[in-house]
Chains A and B, each alone.
Chain A
Amino acid sequence: MILSDAGIRRAVAEGDIAIDPAPESAQLQTSAVDMFLGHAFRVWDLPRLATPGLSPVLDLAEQRFVATANSFSIQAELERDGSYILKPYHEVPQVLLCQTRERLHLKLHSRLAARVEGRSSLARLGLMVHLTAPTIHAGFNGNITLEVINHGPFHLKLVPNRTRICQFIFERLESAPEQEATTQFQGQKTPTGGKG
């Protein structure tokens, strides 16, 4: 069952969902919450991969993503205002990695999962915001990393804090996730020492 805007508000009020910064009313849709783009952008180092004579083959059975990313991803070059202009994929075959401004916490006991999805207005321009990995599991706590590709004809300017890049859809689980003990989460301390 997908939560409506009223259901999302209720889940936030009851502490099952935490979104930081808290969404404004205009971010709520009938069955989703729009999320803004964060400040950090990473791209694959295409000039390095295009070194003459180099023919890189990534063996998916052997590679370790963190090593691959550390070796071949770089911070994206931003515009003066902190935005990033994503060129059409047919011009530059790039996968942009970025994060939502908002941090999402789905409490493990909440019986909720979420999906990150694109927004139709951006999809019509050719913008994809994730690649086949939309599920956010109960218990997750962090910013959502997006894999962004521009399949359209335009150079798209992505502006942190202003571009509504994606939306979260929340779904009710048919039962609570398994956990060892009866949960008494209210008032527990988080790793940062705050209230959960």
Chain B
Amino acid sequence: MNDAYITCEVLPGLFSTEYYVLVHDSSYYVHRDHVRVPREPQTGSSVVGQVFGYVIDREPGRTLMQLPGEAVVGGLRTWVDNSALTAA
């Protein structure tokens, strides 16, 4: 699995092209094409969705993921529990 979807919290972005996603303690602006949402999030009312990411490295139980967007809090790469991943 080179790529995967990460379960995340999703909020509207600043622009209509993007969403704001939170993965653990990190957050990102990511193009909407890379985010799956069950319904449209509203300002102040997030939804649980999935964001695309590249698999960078693995350790037992967790995977280092890189997101294809702009980091707001934290870096572009973040460790994610394997339970939060779905194959892309």
Contact = CB atoms under 8 A, between A and B. Distances in A.
Interface stretch (A28-36, A81-89, A155-163, A174-182): A174-182
Contact of B31 (A137, A139, A141): A141
A140 B17 CA distance: 14
A73 B11 CA distance: 16
Contact of A180 (B14, B34, B55, B73): B55
A191 B20 contact: no
Interface in A163-196: 178-181, 183-185, 188-192
A70 interface: yes
Interface in B46-88: 52, 54-58, 66, 68-70, 72-73, 76, 88
B20 A66 contact: yes
Interface string A119-150: 00000000000000000010111110100000
Interface string B1-39: 111010000010011111010000001011101111000
Interface residues of B, number: 35
Contact of A142 (B17, B27, B57, B73): B17
A64 B73 contact: yes
Contacts of A42: 14-15
Find the residue from B34, B52, B68 having the highest chain A CB count within 10 A. Answer: B68
Dominant secondary structure at the B interface: strand
Contact of B16 (A40, A103, A142): A40
Contact of B69 (A66, A97, A140, A179): A140
Contacts of A108: 54, 66
Given A66-B72, A108-B66, A143 B14 contact: no
B76 to A, nearest CB: 6
A140 B70 CA distance: 8
B56 A190 contact: no
A190 B69 CA distance: 14
Contact of B72 (A65, A73, A140, A143): A65
Interface of B: 1-3, 5, 11, 14-18, 20, 27, 29-31, 33-36, 43-44, 52, 54-58, 66, 68-70, 72-73, 76, 88
12 contacts: A42-B14, A64-B73, A140-B69, A141-B33, A142-B17, A142-B29, A142-B68, A142-B69, A180-B58, A181-B1, A181-B2, A191-B52
Interface of A: 40, 42, 64-66, 69-70, 73, 97, 99, 103, 108, 137, 139-143, 145, 178-181, 183-185, 188-192
